[in-house]
Structure 1
């Protein structure tokens, strides 16, 4: 017997197969087509045509965070969400001037980290199958991730913030090292993750410097390789500073965490920040 997801997927694929030959019950032409998600926050979102009488299957090129799926449940019905697919349908046909946004994060965190779509109803056609494509970020092998545009609900849906909230500690400047200086650093600790938000300044008598990777080094245990996120792509020019974020998942523990943070650049220069403290979360009231 087919599992519910496999059955839904099979039905959606079957509907898509006959779509080329027959219109939908509502008189709309059924379409199967690829769409490419926006690569940056400034790009327009791809448009997907949905309807009340036809489900729309979206197939993703990589696993998705199903818990991060966001949509207006009063207007959009999610029939099924799998590891790499979502089947949606309009609760009722959207108004002519109505646009609904739906988004989901990819598991791997690679840019673009989130796939978002504008859902509309078209009287002439409906998308029965969307093959989602993900643009390749330039120089992905040697460039840190550029921050996507998250929404407040994403943090809760992904489980990054729970009833214990987030704790922080703040550090101010540090003496220069290899032509680099720390202007400030804020250490955040949430549910299973730590994040160092800092501003690194490249001295004016140095060459341009691109942060490439980061490691959290503890007193015990293996080094933790972090994801680097920057607010602006490209190298840090001489005499300029850049906000850089390093984030890594960690197991929950009832103690402060103290790491040495090492940020390595493309020219062999590395910047080491000792004694970065991530305070123990404060117990919350789950009631």
Structure 2
């Protein structure tokens, strides 16, 4: 049984002809710090800031803000709205649906121009901008130096990612490819059937049928078999997130789907592959899948790995 399961995973990792394939977008959570500079005229476009249910977004201002002057559209859909003298922390609740756009306005206390700042909060199913710095006055040299330092780190990460992708693209297919890229590293493939233990949040774009988990020396994968719920519009996963209890995330490498999920097309497979060393935590994780516009999602809980 172990060998047959391993063979299935080998084909999932390296095949995909004629099937939908998407790369999960890079997370906006991590090293990045969003910096917004305000101007005193009306020509500045309204800045968009990504937010996500359950994740904190903190605005830091270089001027004191009026707590009574904070207005948030759809306030009832936020679990936390905490305004300080120069900070504002937001945590959307699950009532905030992907794709929603809500206006946030803050007013400053010193009477200088601009007297207020307005942002558009754009709801994403799994990604948020955790740290947003807002400047009304000229920024210090130190903030620019820090921005350059972070940009260099992110550029180096992109370079390493490009090298990895080129290496995998040039690797042969099948078992030889897994050996050449050191995915197995003498360990083989461990397997676990999660079908009974995995939970699904209500109202998802599709219904789970079977759920399997895999682990190699350097990768983990979740295979989800989905059934259509009769939605007339076909559904294809383009992004995924694997998040643990402490909000730690595994780096998703690819999302593969056997075909669009539409009425009459049952048991389509979605495979999410992520980076994970053998000593990484086994879970539980929450798996969230979303389509191109981010509005129709599937959320599975209690995902564990061998």
User: TM-score surpassing 0.5?
Assistant: no
The answer to which structure, 1 or 2, has the higher relative contact order (CA under 8 A, 6+ apart) is 2
Q: TM-score range by the shorter chain?
A: 0.3 to 0.5
Relative to the length of structure 2, the TM-score reads 0.40
Larger proportion of strand: 1
Relative to the length of structure 1, the TM-score reads 0.43
Larger proportion of helix: 2
